[in-house]
Amino acid sequence: MMLGNFREKILSWGAKLLLGLLIISFGLWGIGDYTTNTGGDDQIVAEIGGQEISSRELESQIQVSISRMREVLGQNITNEQALAFGIVDQTLNGMVQEIIFSEGARNTGLIINDDLLNQEIRSDKQFKNRAGQFDRNVFQQSINRAGYSEGT
């Protein structure tokens, strides 16, 4: 029910306006700086509503995405193959969407209750051990493998 309300709010005209502005900004600036970054500087590859995505953050998420892709495909793929699959654009789009959803939730007053979130996590089958009990280690491993921490 909570997710349904969230999805409803995200489809509002305000969220569509934010998404439209985002598309225009990418059309104007693109991600050329990321592809020409040779190290050293931590350049900003995108800015959404005052929140920035740095080249280091993007690169870190790209590595997580490549790891996920390797798990799904069950084989080792090269970075070049991942790039051919459009991993940079997909990863950046995912990061941007996450920021837009967070901003939209914050702007519309949708706040996820910590107790409810905790309850949802504890009831999720993928975080339970063989005895059917919530296992913190399984939870930690899952979120670490996905490139997240408990704070995110």
- Provide the pLDDT confidence category of residue 116 given band limits of 50, 70 and 90: confident
**92 pLDDT more than 90:** yes
The confidence score (pLDDT) of residue 80 equals 82
Domain boundaries, the chain: 2-112, 114-152
Query: What is the pTM for the complete model shown?
Result: 0.52
The confidence score (pLDDT) of residue 7 equals 63
The confidence score (pLDDT) of residue 4 equals 64
Least confident of 91-100, 110-119, 125-134, 137-146: 110-119
Mean pLDDT of 121-144: 90
- Provide the pLDDT confidence category of residue 94 given band limits of 50, 70 and 90: very high
The confidence score (pLDDT) of residue 39 equals 53
**16 pLDDT more than 50:** yes
Mean pLDDT of 1-28: 63
Q: What is the pLDDT of residues 34-43, one digit of tens each?
A: 445 455 567 8
How would you write the chain as a 3-class SS string?
A: CHHHHHHHHHCCHHHHHHHHHHHHHHHHHCCHHHHHCCCCCCCEEEEECCEEEEHHHHHHHHHHHHHHHHHHHCCCCCHHHHHHCCHHHHHHHHHHHHHHHHHHHHHCCCCCCHHHHHHHHHHCHHHECCCCCECHHHHHHHHHHCCCCCCC
- Provide the pLDDT confidence category of residue 117 given band limits of 50, 70 and 90: confident
| Stronger pLDDT, 77 or 121, i.e. the higher one | 121
